[in-house]
Amino acid sequence: MTTEHVSVMPDEIVQWIGELRPRTIVDGTYGGGGHTRLLCEVLASDEGPDGESPLIIGMDRDPAVIRRDDVPDGPGGDPRIELFLGSYEKAPAAISHCGRTHADALVLDLGLSSDQLADRERGFSFTLPDAELDLRFDPESDLPAYRWLAIHSEKDIADAIYQFGEERFSRRIARQICLRAKEKSPVRTVGDLVEICRRCVPRSKNHDIHPATRTFQALRIAVNDELGILQRTLASAGDWIAPGGRIAAISFHSLEDRIVKNAFREDDRWTVLTKKPLRPTDEEVQSNPRSRSAKLRVAQRNET
């Protein structure tokens, strides 16, 4: 298995993290491994005062990612890289497992990878109508999205679609989902949900946004507890990022960006280095259209 994923804003990540000459980096959203490979070039080349060798800890919730790269002839065979299966919320445990107390940097690329979109068994892309509506980053844990829909009330479904997808027609969509369940024909596939969204969401004037986009985003966030994990990680990061260390977080929608912005501003352990979020260059957007909505924010851990 090879990766199709192209890392977003790689030059900016290398610049902001490389300035530190870090010895320990956590790549919390390893994905295709692009950021990790580039960050290897800016790791400190010497051992630390406690004999710590340069290291990047790559974390991902997707078992397929770890199986692909944690092999002797892959990135996991590089002595500077340790790969861990799990959410970046588990970074302190991974750091401790590697015999360290702190990391110098945390990198988060919060988008969905191209590999996951292309996987027919996951249901991330609404262009694959026959795929099961799964939406889990880790298909070996938690509930798939179609089961999540089956056990939640119409109100809970509507609230999730509105809160996490900012979909104005959330109640209409939730009502149709629950009607199908009552008719013994519950939503099971991507196509089932896309059909409901097409009926419930009026076509926009510019037709740029697929009518199912916001609903799929919302269910993915709900199933994977994405925003909860992000909030908890940023709240605790000051405990395990070394003084002078940095967090670089790339978000792709307003809910994530708001959490990152507020976490940096409201915690006096951090100094915001990017007063406004950085955006990808025109050249990057042209070569990698999925980067167009990316926003990068960077904060530095205060010395005291």
Identify residue 52 by its one-letter amino acid code: E
How confident is the model at residue 205, as a pLDDT?
Answer: 67
Residue 268 has pLDDT above 60, yes or no: yes
Q: Which CATH number fits domain 10-114+226-301: 3.40.50.880, 3.40.50.150, 3.30.360.10, 3.30.590.10?
A: 3.40.50.150
pLDDT at residue 99 in the model: 94
Query: Both tokens of residue 62?
Result: 């997707």
DSSP per residue, 60-97: ES-HHHHHHHSSTTSGGGSTTEEEEES-GGGHHHHHHH
pLDDT, residue 119, reads: 62
Q: How far is CA 8 from CA 77, 111, 236, 293, 298, in A?
A: 24, 9, 25, 10, 15
3-state helix, strand, coil in the chain (%, to 5): 45, 15, 40
What share of the chain has pLDDT > 70, as a percent?
94
pLDDT band at 115 (very low <50, low <70, confident <90, very high): low
Distance (Å, rounded) from C-alpha 193 to C-alpha 117? 16
Is 155 exposed, middle or buried (CB count within 10 Å of its CB: 0-12, 13-18, 19+)? exposed
Share of the chain above pLDDT 90, in %: 78
Q: Where are the domains of the chain?
A: 10-114+226-301, 118-224
Shared fold status for 10-114+226-301 and 118-224? no
Assign 5 a pLDDT band (cuts: 50, 70, 90). Answer: low
Average of per-residue pLDDT values in the chain: 92
Question: Given this model, what pLDDT does residue 15 score?
Answer: 97
pLDDT in tens, 180-216: 999 999 999 999 999 999 999 998 766 678 899 999 9
The fold of the 118-224 domain, in CATH, is: DNA polymerase; domain 1 (1.10.150)
- Which residues face 297 on adjacent strands? 249
